[in-house]
């Protein structure tokens, strides 16, 4: 059956549509957007968001397969979280971080309870980039070393240090080469930097390469290795078996701290509470944000091991934030984590990855010559688009966009699906509680939309 373009939802009132038009005019007159050339922008207006759907400026309902910035893990407008924010605002809307308040304490307890190993202390930030900045500061102060090793094809945030630690093309315009960062190639079996013929070779050669980098940089100069457990914005690369455990062993061998960046995949995205849980890895520091409260109020943080915490028992930590552990954000976190537990959302993410997203995306790869690879875990998948499966020429250049990818994204939206687009990939990351029938509906739309990309692919 051919899917027809989505039409305006009659439940969206003319007043709401008019308000959206006014909002768009004001946006273009006054709002400066991130990661964009301002003059070329035609941003989508969102009039309403509920559950797994958003409504655009024309009143059309779209399935949100992006979870916005891959952070609305519990979907939009979850009543328990909305209520918690409202109740907290009426009681204590804000308080300085030096003062104890109950929701910050409970949020820290819940994070520590879920975190692997002895990450029993939490420093709260406002976002993931700040969490990365502070984790690196802690690592440098703890070790007395300055250098940080990060992976190419990684993303760690948009603030000054975080974007310099980033390994993807997003850092280029801001990279001064003075941040004390050295980089290594991570495993990426589909486009192996190591000419590996199978996942076992990819793991072995990637670990040999990392150890060579450590040796050549000087183990005594390296404070930390920072690694996304499943790299997100840069491509959703699930590490092959043995890699994460090998990285953890190398860091221990050389007295280097391991920082696990869980900003995007933490709190259930991959079907475990944290990505590192898939491999039983216990980091020294772990950054988080996004899914901790589904993005309802900005919040991030660093979970800190006992060894690192002890460094600051008698030595003041030289850092802080006005809104660290903001009560509205922490109230949202407590409500989000409890809702995820009560509704089994993490287990559901694992199920839909195994039973729905994985199988159906692999079927799409068989059907569509433009699909070169699909990969992922839980509710976190990438569909990589190519012009030729043999040469693996991408449908958009590294670090860039293309008219073909723009046309594919536009076709998805026209048919009622909002995807997350990055370079030559569509990232499939719906809320963890998306109903099965909505997932299938979204995948049906994607199946039809991919015909737009197939036109540009060698058959």
Tens-place pLDDT, residues 376-404: 999 999 999 999 999 999 999 999 999 99
428 within 8 A of 445, measured Cβ to Cβ: no
Helix (H, G, I), strand (E, B) or coil at 7: coil
What's residue 176's pLDDT? 84
pLDDT range class, residue 440, cuts 50, 70, 90:
very high
Q: What is the DSSP string of 26-61?
A: HHHHHPPPTTS-GGG--PPPEEEEEBTEEEETTSBE
Res 199 pLDDT > 90: yes
CA dist., res. 356 & res. 271, Å (int): 13
Q: What does DSSP assign to residue 8?
A: B
What's residue 179's pLDDT? 84
What's residue 143's pLDDT? 98
Q: What percent of the chain has pLDDT over 70?
A: 100
Higher per-residue pLDDT: 302 or 179: 302
Which of 238, 227, 203, 221 has the alpha carbon at shortest distance from 284? 227
Angle (nearest 5°) at CA 377 between 374 and 380: 75
What's residue 178's pLDDT? 83
Which of 131, 7, 158, 84 has the alpha carbon at shortest distance from 330? 84
**pTM metric for this prediction:** 0.96
- Average per-residue pLDDT in the chain? 97
CB environment 5-19: b (16+ within 10 A), e (fewer): ebeeeeebeeeebee
Res 154 pLDDT > 80: yes
Q: What is the pLDDT of residues 418-434, one digit of tens each?
A: 999 999 999 999 999 99
Which segments of 256-319 does DSSP mark as H helices, in order? Answer: 306-311
What's residue 163's pLDDT? 93
Q: What is the pLDDT of residues 109-120, one digit of tens each?
A: 999 999 999 999
What's residue 65's pLDDT? 98
Res 369 pLDDT > 80: yes
What's residue 398's pLDDT? 94
Query: What value does the mean pLDDT take over residues 42-58?
Result: 97
CA dist., res. 9 & res. 302, Å (int): 42
Distance of alpha carbon 141 from the chain centroid? 27
Res 94 pLDDT > 80: yes
**If you count them, how many residues does the chain have?**
459
Res 191 pLDDT > 90: yes
Higher per-residue pLDDT: 169 or 455: 455
CA dist., res. 98 & res. 322, Å (int): 9
Res 1 pLDDT > 80: no
Q: What percent of the chain has pLDDT over 90?
A: 97
Query: What value does the mean pLDDT take over residues 277-305?
Result: 98
CA dist., res. 54 & res. 42, Å (int): 17
Res 268 pLDDT > 80: yes
- Do β-strands 285-288 and 300-304 pair in parallel, antiparallel, or remain unpaired? antiparallel
């Amino acid at each position: 059956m051919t899917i027809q373009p989505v039409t305006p939802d009659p439940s969206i009132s003319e007043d709401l549509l008019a308000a959206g038009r006014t909002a768009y005019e004001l946006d273009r007159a006054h709002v400066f957007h991130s990661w964009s050339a301002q003059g070329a922008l035609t941003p989508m207006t969102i009039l309403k968001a509920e559950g797994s759907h958003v409504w655009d400026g024309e009143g059309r309902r779209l399935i949100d397969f992006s979870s916005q910035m891959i952070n609305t893990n519990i979907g939009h407008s979850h009543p328990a979280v909305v209520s918690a924010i409202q109740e907290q605002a009426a009681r204590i809307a804000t308080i300085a971080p030096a003062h104890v308040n109950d929701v910050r304490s409970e949020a820290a307890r819940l994070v520590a309870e879920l975190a692997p190993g002895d990450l029993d202390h939490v420093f709260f930030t406002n976002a993931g980039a700040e969490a990365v900045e502070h984790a690196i500061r802690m690592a440098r102060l703890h070790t007395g070393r300055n250098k940080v090793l990060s992976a190419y094809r990684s993303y760690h945030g948009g603030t000054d240090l975080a974007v310099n630690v980033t390994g993807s093309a997003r850092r280029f315009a801001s990279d001064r080469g003075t941040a004390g960062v050295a980089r290594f190639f991570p495993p990426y079996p589909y486009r192996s930097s190591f000419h590996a013929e199978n996942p076992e070779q990819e793991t072995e050669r990637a670990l040999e390469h990392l150890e060579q980098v450590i040796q050549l940089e000087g183990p005594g100069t390296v404070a930390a290795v920072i690694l996304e457990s499943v790299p997100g914005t840069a491509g959703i690369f699930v590490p092959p078996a043995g890699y994460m455990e090998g990285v953890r062993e190398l860091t221990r061998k050389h007295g280097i701290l391991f920082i696990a960046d869980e900003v995007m995949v933490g709190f259930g995205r991959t079907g475990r509470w944290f990505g590192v849980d898939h491999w039983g890895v216990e980091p020294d520091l772990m950054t988080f944000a996004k899914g901790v409260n589904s993005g309802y109020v900005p919040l991030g943080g660093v979970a800190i091991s006992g060894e690192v915490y002890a460094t600051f028992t008698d030595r003041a930590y030289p850092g802080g934030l006005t809104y660290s552990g903001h009560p509205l954000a922490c109230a949202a976190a407590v409500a989000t984590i409890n809702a995820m537990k009560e509704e089994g959302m993490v287990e559901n993410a694992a199920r839909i990855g195994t039973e729905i997203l994985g199988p159906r995306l692999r079927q799409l790869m068989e059907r569509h010559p433009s699909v070169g690879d699909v990969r992922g875990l839980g509710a976190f998948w990438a569909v990589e688009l190519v012009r030729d499966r043999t040469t693996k020429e991408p449908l958009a250049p590294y670090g860039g966009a293309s008219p073909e990818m723009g046309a594919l994204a536009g076709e998805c939206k026209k048919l009622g699906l909002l995807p997350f687009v990055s370079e030559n990939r569509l990232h499939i990351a719906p809320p963890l509680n998306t109903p099965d029938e909505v997932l299938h509906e979204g995948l049906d739309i994607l199946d039809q939309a991919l015909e737009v990309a197939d036109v540009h692919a060698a058959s």
